[in-house]
Amino acid sequence: MNVGDIMVSQVSCCESGENLETAAIKMQDNDCGSIPVTDTRGAAIGMITDRDIAIAAAARHKALWEITTGELVTGTPVYSCRDTDNIREALAIMQREKVRRLAVINTDGRLMGVLSLDDIVACSERGIRGEGSPDLSYEDTMLTLKAVCKHH
C-alpha cells in the first residue's frame, strides 16, 4: 500500500505571506486543526496547527493578522513523503519525528496532499474488519500512534 492510496489530496493551504488569521479561518472552514504552508510556487515549507497559532499569538503579544504563516514555519523542518512511498516508510517518519501529519510532495517539492494519523487509523480499521487491504495492520498503526503521542 502506498501513501497515495490513503492520503487526502484536496487540502487547503496557506502561502507563507498570509497571516495567521487567514490560516485560522481556513482551518475553521475546512474543519481541520492544521494547514500546510507553501511558498509562492506551491512547494511545501511547513505545517502549522491551531495550537501553533494560539501559542504564537500569546507569546508574541500580537494580533493574528500581524503574524505571517511564514514567520511561524521559518527554521522548522517540513516532514514529508511522496505519494509513491510505501505506507510503512511514512509511518517510520511519523514515529521518528513524532508528527501527526506529513506533507505529501512531488519530486519538485510541490504539495500534493497530506497524510494524517486520522487517515492511517481509518484505513487500519477497515483492514481489521475485513473491508480493505491488510497492508496496514492495527499493530503498525498503534505503534505509530504511541510514538507520536509519547511526551517529548
pLDDT by residue, tens only, the chain of 152 residues: 899 999 999 999 999 999 999 999 999 999 999 999 999 999 999 999 999 999 999 999 999 999 999 999 887 888 999 999 999 999 999 999 999 999 999 988 899 999 999 888 888 765 555 555 556 777 777 788 788 887 65
Determine what percent of the chain falls in helix, strand and coil, rounding each to the nearest 5.
45, 20, 35
Q: C-alpha distances in angstroms, 117 versus 5, 40, 60, 107?
A: 14, 27, 30, 23
Q: What length does the chain have?
A: 152
List, in order of start, the domains of the chain with CATH numbers. Answer: 3-149 (3.10.580.10)
Q: What are phi and psi of 99, to 5 degrees?
A: -120, 150
| Helix (H/G/I), strand (E/B), else coil: 15 | strand
Q: Give helix then strand counts, H and E, for the chain.
A: 6, 6
Three cell numbers written together for 10:
484536496
pTM of the shown model: 0.83
Using DSSP's 3-state secondary structure scheme, residue 68 falls into strand
C-alpha separations of 121 from 63, 77, 115, 136 in Å: 36, 24, 11, 9
